[in-house]
């Protein structure tokens, strides 16, 4: 794996070109172009704000900022998952004819969506200043939280893109799972709303605790909100656990990818 990472670094120019290609294709023939990276989260924020402050009133202050803190990381994650899952199969002619580290394909997808995410953060900070949400020194932890999410997203992308080579239904299933995953991730509600005591079949379950343990995106969204919305320190043990989880998923996903990448040319 170490040798492969060194080789991957040698192909950094290819990764850059694929990222640029993906961004160009995404906004080709679009009137607004890359401005959609700014308008899309604004439109989604507006819809969710209307639903949860007008139709079903919420007592969360500065709700548009609250929603954006969760929506932007989620959009980055779900866009990366749906696109990266089919990245190997959709580039079958390239995989069959040219040698290069195959992981370049799903990783470039994640990085292109990372660029969109970073651009969309401009909207978030504009809303923070518009609603006069007070930023604290803990906002300096934002790059670390983004890094942890990138690690987690890359690990999932490597695993799912491998699985899709052998089972083409994977991409369809992922799209359905992303919708379900959205509702179990605290995007439009605070994670503290989840019950600590829920009885199921006579068993008492701490929903709040298990969501934070089993759903890394719930932990990441909570971390984004802590530093950007609530202006407080993310629990060091909590952040460390999320980092370890992301690292394990990245290593495991890369190991699976490397194990099966040698037969991609035959399968696609």
**Cα–Cα distance between 164 and 107 in angstroms, integer?**
15
Q: Which letter does DSSP use for residue 186 in this model?
A: -
Asked if 108 contacts 22 with a C-beta cutoff of 8 angstroms, the reply is yes
CA atoms of 111 and 87, how far apart (whole Å): 13
Ranges under pLDDT 70 in the chain: 27-37, 52-58
CA atoms within 13 A on the CB side of 191: 24
Task: Provide the pLDDT for residue 58.
Answer: 67
pLDDT at 57: 58
pTM for the whole structure: 0.89
In this prediction, residue 61 carries a pLDDT of: 82
Question: Which pLDDT does position 137 carry in this prediction?
Answer: 92
Question: What pLDDT does 247 receive?
Answer: 96
Task: Say what the pLDDT of residue 49 is.
Answer: 73
**Domain spans of the chain, in order of start:** 2-267
């Amino acid at each position: 794996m170490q040798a492969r990472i060194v080789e991957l670094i040698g192909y950094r120019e290819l990764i850059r070109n694929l990222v640029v290609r993906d961004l160009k294709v995404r906004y080709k023939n679009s009137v607004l172009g890359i401005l959609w990276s700014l308008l899309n989260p604004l439109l989604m924020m507006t819809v969710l704000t209307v639903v949860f402050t007008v139709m079903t009133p919420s007592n969360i202050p500065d709700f548009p900022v609250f929603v954006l803190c969760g929506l932007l990381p989620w959009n980055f994650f779900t866009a990366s998952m749906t696109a990266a899952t089919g990245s190997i199969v959709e580039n079958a002619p390239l995989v069959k004819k040219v040698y290069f580290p195959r992981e370049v394909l799903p990783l470039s997808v994640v990085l292109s969506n990372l660029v969109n995410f970073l651009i969309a953060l401009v909207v978030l900070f504009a809303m923070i200043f518009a609603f006069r949400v007070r930023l604290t020194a803990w906002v300096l932890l934002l790059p670390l939280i983004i890094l942890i999410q990138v690690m987690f997203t890359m690990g999932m992308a490597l695993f799912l893109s491998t699985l899709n080579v052998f089972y083409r239904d994977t991409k369809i299933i992922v799209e359905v799972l992303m919708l379900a995953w959205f509702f179990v991730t605290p995007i439009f509600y605070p994670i503290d709303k989840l019950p600590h005591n829920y009885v199921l079949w006579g068993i008492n379950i701490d929903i709040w605790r298990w969501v934070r343990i089993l759903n890394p995106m719930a932990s990441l969204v909570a971390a984004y909100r802590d530093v950007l919305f609530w202006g407080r320190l993310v629990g060091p043990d909590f952040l460390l656990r999320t980092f370890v989880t992301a690292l394990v998923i990245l290593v495991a996903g890369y190991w699976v990818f490397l194990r099966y990448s040698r037969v991609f040319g035959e399968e696609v």
